[in-house]
Structure 1
Amino acid sequence: MGAIVGASHFQPVDDKTDFSFYGTFWTKPAFGLGQGNTGDDLWTEFGVGVNFNLMDGKLKVKPQIGITNGSLLGGGARARSATVGGKFLDGVVPSLTVNYSDDKTEAEYYGGYYLAARNREGDAALDFVHTWVNVGYKASPNVSFGPHYELLSNTRNTYVGGRPSKTYEWLGGYVQFALPKGFFARFTAGADLDKDNAGDFYMMSVGMSF
Structure 2
Amino acid sequence: MKRTLIHLTAAAALSGVACSMVNAQDDDRLSMDVSMNLDSFFGFNPFVGVTYDTEKDYDLTFYGIAWGAGTGADWGQWTEFGFGVGFEAMDGALYINPQLGFTQGNLLSSGTADDGIVGDGIVPNLTVNYDTEEWEGEFYFGWYKDLRDEAPAGGTTLEYIHYWGNYGYRFADYFSVGLHFEELELRGGSNASSQDGYQWLGPYFQVAKGDAGMRFSAGWDLTSDNDSFSTNDFYKLQFFYSF
TM-score, normalised by the number of residues in structure 1: 0.81
2:231 is the alignment partner of 1:195: no
Say whether 1:205 aligns with 2:207. Answer: no
Work out the number of aligned pairs and report it: 195
187-196 or 137-146, which deviates more: 137-146
Partner of 1:11: 52
1:144 CA displacement: 2.3
How far did residue 205 of structure 1 move? 3.2
Q: Distance in 2 between matches of 1:121 and 1:8?
A: 31
Gaps of 5+ in 2: 1-40
Give the direction of change, closer, same or farther, for the CA distance of 1:39–1:85 in structure 2 (3 Å limit). same
The 3-state SS of whatever aligns with 1:124 is coil
Match 2:134 to one of 77, 98, 104: 104
Aligned equivalent of 1:171: 201
The structure 2 residue matched to 1:47, chosen from 70, 77, 82, is 82
Q: Write the distance in 1 (CA, Å) between the matches of 2:114 and 2:140.
A: 32
The 5 Å alignment of 1:1-210 reads: 1=41, 2-26=43-67, 29=71, 40=75, 42-75=77-110, 83-119=113-149, 123-159=155-191, 162-180=192-210, 182-196=211-225, 197-210=230-243
Q: How far is 1:209 from its partner? A: 4.0
- Aligned counterparts of 2:194 and 2:150: Cα–Cα separation in 1: 15
Measured against aligned partners, the alpha-carbon deviations of 1:61-120 in whole angstroms (never above 9, x if no partner) come to 1100011112221127xxxxx735222221110011111110011111111100011216
Deviations 1:111-137 (A, max 9, x none): 110001121676221111111111011
1:3 and 1:203 in contact (8 A); partners too: no
Task: Tell me: CA distance 1:105–1:19, structure 2 relative to 1, closer, same or farther (3 Å).
Answer: same
Contact 1:24/1:46 (8 A) holds in 2 = yes
Aligned residue identity for 1:6? F
Larger relative strand fraction: 1
- TM-aligned CA distance change 1:143 to 1:169, over 3 Å: same
Unpaired runs of at least 5, structure 1: 32-37, 77-81
Which has the larger Rg? 2
TM-score (norm. length: structure 2): 0.71
Q: Aligned AA for 1:51?
A: G
- What is the identity, as a one-letter code, of the residue corresponding to 2:168? G
Q: CA deviation at 1:173?
A: 2.1
Give the whole-Å Cα distance in 2 for the aligned partners of 1:188 and 1:147: 8
Q: Which runs of 4+ in 1 moved over 6 A?
A: none
Q: Residues 127 and 141 of structure 2 are in contact (CA less than 8 Å); yes or no, is this contact kept in structure 1?
A: yes
Structure that is richer in helix per residue: 2
